């Protein structure tokens, strides 16, 4: 029986640049950074308060997962902003939004009241969108 989700994947254009973004701008920690068989780089990050769920920063290139054509098509979708990495929860959306904005994080929607709380919509340096959400109490 499946007991939990350990990893989710974000497809990125450049792993080193994505690592810099997620650690230095969003404040994530490095989980694993290793090259496995076939030259595939396994790179994960996670919020310090949640090490049990890690985000795999998977570079879009030909390799064990994708043909060259498939990697190029997914890369195009990422760059267009058509893919998202998920919802990042915060205790204070307005404060976190201002902190991330000051670090150069691009937002496509400022903090806005929603039925479920306060949400801002940002983009990582590859083009993936993410929701920065303060849940309603």
| CATH number of the domain residue 121 falls in | 3.10.180.10
* Residue 121, pLDDT above cutoff 80: yes
What are the pLDDT digits (tens) for 58-87?
A: 999 887 778 899 999 999 999 999 999 999
**Domain membership flag for residue 52:** yes
The domain in which residue 22 lies consists of 7-135
Domain count for the chain = 1
- Phi, psi angle pair for 88, to nearest 5°: -105, 120
**Domain membership flag for residue 1:** no
Is pTM, for the whole model, over 0.95? Answer: no
**Domain membership flag for residue 69:** yes
**Domain membership flag for residue 71:** yes
**Domain membership flag for residue 38:** yes
**Domain membership flag for residue 2:** no
Q: What is the pLDDT of residue 80?
A: 93
User: Do 131 and 87 contact (CB within 8 A), yes or no?
Assistant: yes
Specify the higher pLDDT residue, 78 or 37: 78
């Amino acid at each position: 029986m499946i007991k939990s989700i350990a990893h989710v994947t974000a497809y990125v254009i450049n792993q080193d640049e994505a690592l810099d973004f997620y650690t230095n701008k969003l404040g994530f920690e490095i989980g694993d950074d290793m090259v496995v068989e076939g030259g595939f780089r396994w790179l994960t990050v996670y919020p310090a308060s949640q090490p049990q769920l890690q985000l795999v920063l998977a570079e879009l290139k030909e390799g064990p997962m994708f043909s060259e054509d498939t990697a190029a098509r997914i890369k195009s979708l990422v760059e267009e902003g058509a893919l998202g990495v998920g919802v990042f929860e915060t205790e204070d959306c307005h404060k976190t939004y201002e902190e991330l904005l000051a670090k150069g994080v691009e937002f496509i929607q400022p903090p806005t009241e929603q039925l479920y709380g306060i949400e801002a919509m940002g983009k990582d340096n590859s083009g993936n969108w993410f929701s920065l959400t303060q849940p309603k109490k």
